[in-house]
Amino acid sequence: MYETSIDGFSIRHAVPSDVPLVLQFIRDLAEYEKLAHEVVISEQDLHCHLFGAEKKAEVLIAEHCQAPVGFALYFHNFSTFLGRPGIYLEDLFVSPHHRGKGYGKALLTCLASIAVSRDCGRLEWAVLDWNQPAIDFYEALGASAMKGWIINRVTGVALTEMAEKFEGI
């Protein structure tokens, strides 16, 4: 558990019994981002990816007086330029009625501390271009927008079709 300077506040790694909570945070974030229709993961799949034999991601849970207020879901990537692992923050969310109290900052700085302790070369994430409050928040913490980089994604049928092209090589 990671204690912070905020009275009654702590951050801990998620445990298997947190899966329903994590899924609810994911749904709440998707609703905020106007992407709720894209959430298709089940509790069973989430449990498998967070706590299965081949763990794919990790989650930090922020709590105030032992009540959950937010989460951060992250995983390791690798920088060939740095020759070191990094951490990619997939999701950061603080419940609306708990925002502005330092919980998001605590989650991000905790994640930065984890990155440093694991000898990672960087911590990175994406933010929707319309989410100016989040952009301002990240910049205030020292983050730099990666101008000139465009995220590419292949998913669903397009992913399957791309994979099938490999079979023909």
Q: Report the pLDDT value the prediction gives residue 1, as an integer from 0 to 100.
A: 55
Looking at residue 64, its pLDDT comes to 95
Q: Domain extents for the chain? A: 2-167
CB 31 within 8 A of CB 65: no
Cα gap 3→149, rounded to integer Å: 36
- Predicted local distance difference test score (pLDDT) of residue 8: 85
- Give the domain 2-167 fold: Aminopeptidase (3.40.630)
| Predicted pLDDT at 121 | 97
Evaluate whether 95 touches 129 at the Cβ level (below 8 Å).
no
Number of H helices, E strands in the chain: 5, 6
User: What is the pLDDT, as a whole number, of residue 2?
Assistant: 60
For residues 79 and 119, give the distance between their C-alpha atoms in angstroms, rounded to a whole number: 12
Element (H, E) at 92: strand 84-94
CA distances from 104 to 27, 101, 134 (A): 17, 8, 10
Low-confidence ranges of the chain (pLDDT < 50): none
Tell me the pLDDT of the chain averaged across its residues. 94
Tell me the pLDDT tens digit for each residue of 25-71.
999 999 999 999 999 999 999 999 999 999 999 999 999 999 999 99
Question: Is 74 in the active site?
Answer: no
Residue type, 66: Q
